[in-house]
Each structure stands twice: as C-alpha cells, then as structure tokens.
Amino acid sequence: MSDVRVAFYGDDFTGSVDVLLQFARRGQRARLFVGRPSPEALADAARTNDAVGIAGIARSLATAEIADEVGPAFDLLLTLAPHVLQYKACSTADSSPEIGSIGRVLEIARDRVPGPAPILFAQPDFGRYTAFGHHFAAEQGTVYRLDRQPTMSQHPSTPMRESDLARHLSEQTDLAIDSIPFTSYDSPAEPHRHAADGDETSPVGRVSAGASLAERLQSTDAAGVVLDALDDDHLRVIGEAVASLGRTVFAIGSGGLSHAIAIAHPRQADPIPVRGHETGPVLAVSGSRSAQTRRQADAARAAGWLVRPLSLGADAHLDDVLEALSAGRSVVLTSDDADASLLPADQLLPAISAACARAVDAALRAGATRRIIVCGGDTSSRVATQLGVASLSIAANPWDNVVLLTAHAADPAIDGAELLLKGGQVGDDDLFEAVRDN
C-alpha cells in the first residue's frame, strides 16, 4: 500500500470539502481535485498528502449514469493502493433508487474491492446521529428522525421516507445490507486467552472494542453494514475497526467516517488558520432552494447586502453586481425566487449553475472581489468545474465546520480565489455576514 491513508470520491463538492477539514483537524494533509485528474497529478498529490480525493457529481445523477461517473474514479483512486477507498456521501444519506443511488455505488465498488463495506452516515459534531440503524438529523436546534426532518422529508430530488438506513439502501440494490448497533461496541468479542497465564479477564487477554467490531465486519455475509454513532467515542471505535481490517477497505460515509479514520492516526500539526487570506466584499451565489439558505440571504439583506434573484439568461446583465462589489458592498444572488418559468425542469439545475458561474467569473475578472460563497452542493460542483478550478486546499477554518478554500487553477483570474462551498442546510442565519467580517 502507498502512504495515502484515504482515497475518496465525493458525491458532491460541499461534502468533499468536509473530508479536507476532518483530516486537517487531526494534523493530516489532504487535497481535493475538481473532477478526475491525470494519473500523474494524482500520484504527485499522493506523495505529499495523507488523503486525496475527487469531487464529483454522483449525488445528482440518474442511476443509469452513475457507473460512468464513479467507476473510472474508483479505478483511478485504487492505483494508489489506499488503506481506505471512501465514497463520501452526504450525512443525510441523500439518495433514491432513481437519483444518486448509493446502492448502485455499492454494486460498482463490490466489483473492485471485496469484503463488506462499513457504512457510516452519522456525524455527531454536525447534528447527525444513527442509533439502532435509524438516522436522525438536527434542524434549527431540534433533532428529528430523518424521515420527519423538515428539509429532508420534503427534499425536491430525494425526499426521505425511511429512517432505517439499511431499509433505505436496500431499496436501491439487491445486495444485502446489515447493521450493527452501538450497544455492541461496548462489548468486545469472546475473550482471547493470554498466551502466558491463560487469564481471560485481564485487558491483555481481551480484544479492544475496535478489534471486536472489525471481527464482526469481517464475519458478515452482507455487502454493506450500517454503523451507529452518537458521539466521538463511537467514531473512535469505528476508526480503530477500519484500521484493523488490514486490507483495502471500501467504505461509504459522511465526514463522520473521515473523522473516525483520521482520529485513529492523529498527528501533531500547526492549528488551521481561522482567518482567510483575502479581504473586501463577498459575492454569494446560490443554487440552493433550502429554507436555511433563504434565511441567510434575508439576514444578509438586513445587514446591507445587495440581494436579488439570479438572472438565468445567457445575456443577463451584471452591471449592478459589479458596481456594488466595486463600491465595497457585498452581494447575494438567489435562485429560489429566480424566474424559471420558461425552463423545463431538467434544465433548471444546469441553467442555475451556469448563471452562478457567469456571475463569479465576471466578478473575479473585473477584480471586484476575491471572496466567493457558492450555496448548494450540486451547484458548487458545477460552478467550480465551469470556472476551471483544478483542485482545492484549505485556507482557513473560522469556526465549526465552515471551511474557506483556496482555488488552484491555470487561469490567473481564478487561481488563488477564496471560496466557501456551502451545502443548502449548512450554517447559522448570519453566516454570510460572519464570513464577510472574518
């Protein structure tokens, strides 16, 4: 195996960025590529990073399209012989039999990496928990069962109808999906007899909880195993279990899985900077239609930002945006109130993403700002691709799970720009203003 601990494919950009953060917090370096890099570029990154990944778009793809997107990415990442090949999925398990099918991903991976796949969507520091196989997610300070969370129960693409993750995933594949409850983590497997004195009760004579969980994972006939987690102790056990498997492991999971893997091998490192390297006004473009992003836009308006709907036409004028930014006034362009009346439903996301990319490109080329917020996981991936961003690295972690990124691109107008790629539900109401003041 190479020195790369984790090679990962992210099903959208915002989730992929979280992997960078989880490793950086534990003193480990990570690099995220925008789309598939050349084998040479990937190998070069692997020489200086503990984790390398590819930010993809599988979460927004029809099931029939996933193999062409994910299969080649897995093949490329496996050339590094990583200890873990992670499919980085959203912590709310966004998927369905028709869109973003994680079951299909499991089938694709099983053809390449034998053995059962650990599946961990829980991310306690982000308000995501799994208990007895059922998933829970926080929203506005309240923890809901996933199928009752206001946002996920009404998700426009993948509305959640089931909180039992094994059942949810079983609707997407014929492969067997099992689960292991957190209550079994506290009970090691059968005691191992000490070679010297036969003492089954001494700590030396018993396997750890992580090793016990690894044994359970190795002994199952299921293709995938959903794992519970309510706190960091559970994540630590899971990380130890994955590290104990001793082979290339395919695993599916959120930033909680990345956290679990990273804490199994922490390193000393300088703290992540809390302030970005750029100053001045901020341009926020939103492809998200979540209620939380709307609250953030409304809070920005109250703080004096220019807030207006995106213009979706290719000939849209951006004079007011550039004028405001040049005068030091930050701007939010929203999509939930954009005029999409002439667009078929299947053209809406591409049109919104293209409009966001045009606005960002114009602002960067005009020198009106170097600070960009993109809202929406699918939108973030498409905007970064259209801007020609090759890869991303962490610039700062101001607070919690908010990450400012440095864009690496051949185009000098784009290279070095500071980006915040934000999922629709992420951040407090005052997030935009807090980023501006950072």
pLDDT in tens, 165-199: 999 999 999 999 999 999 999 755 454 444 344 44
Whole-number pLDDT of residue 88:
98
Check residue 2 and give its pLDDT: 57
If one counts every other C-beta atom within 10 angstroms of the C-beta of residue 329, the result is 14
Q: Does domain 283-437 have CATH number 3.40.980.20?
A: yes
Query: How many Cβ atoms from other residues are within 10 Å of residue 253's Cβ?
Result: 30
Chain centre to alpha carbon of residue 422? 10
Q: What mean pLDDT is reported for the chain?
A: 91
Percent of the chain residues topping a pLDDT of 70: 95
Q: Which of 146, 106, 103 lies closest to 123, judged by CA?
A: 146
Over pLDDT 90: what percentage of the chain? 75
> Phi and psi (nearest 5°) for 286?
-125, 125
Q: Does 339 score more than 70 pLDDT? A: yes
Rounded distance between C-alpha atoms, residue 36 and residue 55, angstroms:
8
pLDDT tens for each residue of 380-431: 888 999 999 999 999 999 988 889 999 999 999 999 999 999 888 788 999 9
Interaxial angle between packed helices 255-263 and 232-244, expressed in degrees from 0 to 180 and rounded to the nearest 10: 70
Distances (CA, A) of 35 to 20, 41, 86, 390: 16, 12, 16, 8
**Structure confidence by residue, pLDDT tens digits, 236-294:** 999 999 999 988 999 999 999 999 999 988 777 778 999 998 999 999 999 998 899 99
In whole angstroms, how far apart are CA 303 and each of 25, 85, 164, 279, 291? 32, 44, 41, 18, 19
Q: Tell whether the model's pLDDT for residue 315 goes beyond 80.
A: no
- Of 111-115, 142-146, 204-208, 275-279, where does mean pLDDT reach its minimum? 204-208
pLDDT in tens, 360-369: 999 999 999 9
pLDDT of 204 above 90: no
Phi and psi dihedrals of 268, rounded to 5?
-80, 140
> Which CATH number applies to 6-263?
3.40.50.10840
Q: What is the pLDDT of residues 3-15, one digit of tens each?
A: 788 999 999 887 8
Q: What is the band of 207 on the pLDDT scale with cuts at 50, 70, 90?
A: low
For the chain, the structural domain boundaries read: 6-263, 283-437
Give the whole-angstrom CA distance, residue 241 versus residue 121.
16
